């Protein structure tokens, strides 16, 4: 298919999400982690909880990818990285800024080529502190 490399460097509009206690509890239950730290009045967050920031905000990353010609059900998630810089607490309002960091093509092992899309997201809290970096590598089939 081919994803146009012209999208490299594209910055998407910032998106925001306020961390809720019930969401943390729901997430811990869904992953089957009964650590009491996630169920307290002032819970810690599981390290992969930030996946909710993009999916439960108005980020619409799936629509943004679709506008680049990438359909979500044809996307494989190749790599995921979180770099936690400062603690995130319940009631924090997190703002994410996503950038298309790279687009490149490789020959597949079997048939055809695969398009790799690297997405980098930087997250700040309500005080403007950089709290988290996320790097995502997607493969469009």
**Residues of this chain that bind other proteins (CB under 8 A):** 23, 26-27, 29-33, 35, 37-38, 44-48, 51-52, 54-56, 72-74, 76-84, 87, 135
Helices (H), 32-80: 51-55, 61-67
To other proteins, the closest distance from the beta carbon of 45 in angstroms equals: 7
To other proteins, the closest distance from the beta carbon of 12 in angstroms equals: 16
121 Cα distance to chain centroid: 7
To other proteins, the closest distance from the beta carbon of 6 in angstroms equals: 26
Q: Measured from the CB atom, is 26 or 129 closer to other proteins?
A: 26
Q: Which of 94, 8, 9, 100 is nearest to 56 (CA)?
A: 94
Q: In angstroms, rounded to a whole number, what is the distance separating the alpha carbons of residues 100 and 114?
A: 17
Q: Measured from the CB atom, is 45 or 121 closer to other proteins?
A: 45
To other proteins, the closest distance from the beta carbon of 21 in angstroms equals: 14
- Hey, what are 34's tokens? 């009964």
Q: Measured from the CB atom, is 44 or 103 closer to other proteins?
A: 44
Q: What is the DSSP letter of 33?
A: -
Q: Is the dihedral of CA 72, 137, 94, 82 positive or negative?
A: positive
Q: Measured from the CB atom, is 8 or 85 closer to other proteins?
A: 85
């Amino acid at each position: 298919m081919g994803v146009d490399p012209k999208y490299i460097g594209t910055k998407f509009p910032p998106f925001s999400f306020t961390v809720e206690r019930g969401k943390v509890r729901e997430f811990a239950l869904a992953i089957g982690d009964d650590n009491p730290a996630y169920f307290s009045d002032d819970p810690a967050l599981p390290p992969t909880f930030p996946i909710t920031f993009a999916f439960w905000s108005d980020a619409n990353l799936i629509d943004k990818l679709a506008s680049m010609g990438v359909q979500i059900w044809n996307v494989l998630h190749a790599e995921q990285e979180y770099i936690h810089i400062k603690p995130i607490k319940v009631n924090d309002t997190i703002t994410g800024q996503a950038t298309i960091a790279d687009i490149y093509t490789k020959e597949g092992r079997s048939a055809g080529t695969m398009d790799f899309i690297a997405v980098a997201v930087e997250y700040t809290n309500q005080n403007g502190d950089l709290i988290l970096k996320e790097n995502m590598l997607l493969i469009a089939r």
